[in-house]
Amino acid sequence: MSSTVEQFARPRTAAIVTGVQVATMWILELIDMPLHQSLNWFGVHSWRFEMLWTLFTMPFAHTGFDHLIANSLPLIVLGFLVALEGMKRWITVTLAVTIGSGLLAFFLNAPGTLTIGASGVVFGYLGYLLARGLFARSVKHILIMAGVGIFYGGMLMGILPTNTAVSWQGHLGGLLAGGLIAWWLHSASVDRRGTTGFSVK
């Protein structure tokens, strides 16, 4: 019985977590409308070391609802898939990709550049899920990797410097951080289990 309850509880928890995450962004954008985008100040300010704390606030600031809408659906879908692995895993991955995305935007952009938006986190989740399928070698994770690759693989073009209005630096940072945290978590899990065998979990 407890196993059945857990199977139903985890998707519900994952949905709540990602729903709250995205809802917070929408609430902040609604607040920002009468403030004339003043909350954008909480984005990453490149090479201003006293503002490094904005690595953690950057994903919650957007240039408007068009920007937020573009990030919301992939954030919900990809974030939900990450959260299905548990809250601890979701928090670890989210922190890693948030920091990775923000750091590359911080160091690779020209001094004084302001970078905002959750797209770096989206790319981070994408990188994590793709790498997770490669490292875990389980049927479940390979199927998730294939589905994510089919539906969201085209996003990978966003790591190329083709649009000066888009932070490819943040995208690349999130993607790399997602892949690295997938490798690190898998390695830690293998060390605990003492095996690298194929799994059907």
pLDDT at 81 over 50: yes
pLDDT category of residue 191 using cuts at 50, 70 and 90: low
- 35 class by beta-carbon count within 10 Å (0-12 exposed, 13-18 middle, 19+ buried): exposed
Looking up residue 34, the CATH number of its domain turns out to be 1.20.1540.10
Q: Is residue 198 one of the residues assigned to a domain? A: no
pTM over 0.85: yes
pLDDT at 72 over 90: yes
Q: Provide the domain limits for residue 145.
A: 2-193
pLDDT mean across residues, the chain: 91
pLDDT at 49 over 70: yes
**Total of domains in the chain:** 1
- Rounded to an integer, the average pLDDT of 34-38 is 94
Q: Is residue 188 one of the residues assigned to a domain? A: yes
Q: Is residue 77 one of the residues assigned to a domain? A: yes
pLDDT at 194: 61
Q: Is residue 177 one of the residues assigned to a domain? A: yes
pLDDT at 1 over 50: no
pLDDT at 3 over 60: no
Q: Is residue 199 one of the residues assigned to a domain? A: no
- For residues 138 and 198, the answer to whether their CB atoms sit within 8 Å is yes
